[in-house]
Amino acid sequence: MKKALVCGAGGFIGSHMVKRLKKEGYWVRGVDLKYTEFAPTEADDFVIGDLREQRVCRSVVDESFEVIYQFAADMGGAGFVFTGENDADILHNSALINLNMVELANRLKIKKIFYSSSACIYPEHNQLDPDNPNCREDSAYPANPDSEYGWEKLFSERLYLAFHKNHGLAVRIARYHNIFGPEGSWNNGREKAPAALCRKVAETPDGGQIEIWGDGKQTRSFLYIDECIEATRRLVDSDCLGPLNIGSEEMVTLDQLATMIMQIAGKTLAIKHIPGPTGVRGRNSDNALYFEKIGWKVSKPLLDGLTQTYLWIKEQAERVGTAA
Ligand code: NAD
- Same domain assignment for residues 239 and 111: yes
* Distance from C-alpha of 21 to C-alpha of 15, rounded to nearest angstrom: 10
- Same domain assignment for residues 60 and 143: yes
Asked, for residue 287, whether it belongs to a domain, the answer is no
Per-residue pLDDT of the chain (324 residues; tens, 9 = 90+): 999 999 999 999 999 999 999 999 999 999 999 999 999 999 999 999 999 999 999 999 999 999 999 999 999 888 888 889 999 999 999 999 999 999 999 999 999 999 999 999 999 999 999 999 999 999 999 999 999 999 999 999 999 999 999 999 999 999 999 999 999 999 998 899 999 999 999 999 999 999 999 999 999 999 999 999 999 999 999 999 999 999 999 999 999 999 999 999 999 999 999 998 888 999 999 999 999 999 999 999 999 999 999 999 999 999 999 999
Q: Is 11 in the pocket of ligand 1 (CB under 6 A)?
A: yes
Amino acid at 117: S
Buried b (16+ CB within 10 A) or exposed e, 205-236: eeeeebebbbebebbbbbbbbbbbbbbbbbbb
Q: CATH code at 212?
A: 3.90.25.10
Number of domains in the chain: 2
Q: What is the pLDDT of residues 118-169, one digit of tens each?
A: 999 999 999 999 999 999 999 999 999 999 999 999 999 999 999 999 999 9
Q: Is 10 in the pocket of ligand 1 (CB under 6 A)?
A: yes
Q: Is 290 in the pocket of ligand 1 (CB under 6 A)?
A: no
State the distance from the centre of ligand 1 to the C-alpha of 92, rounded, in angstroms. Answer: 14
119 CA closest ligand 1 atom index: 43
State the distance from the centre of ligand 1 to the C-alpha of 29, rounded, in angstroms. Answer: 16
Q: Is 23 in the pocket of ligand 1 (CB under 6 A)?
A: no
* Residues annotated catalytic, as ranges: 149
- Model-level pTM? 0.97
Query: Which segments of 49-147 are extended strands (E)?
Result: 67-70, 112-118
DSSP state of 47: E
- Same domain assignment for residues 235 and 310: no
* Residue ranges making up the domain that contains 143: 3-179+222-246
* Distance from C-alpha of 296 to C-alpha of 318, rounded to nearest angstrom: 38
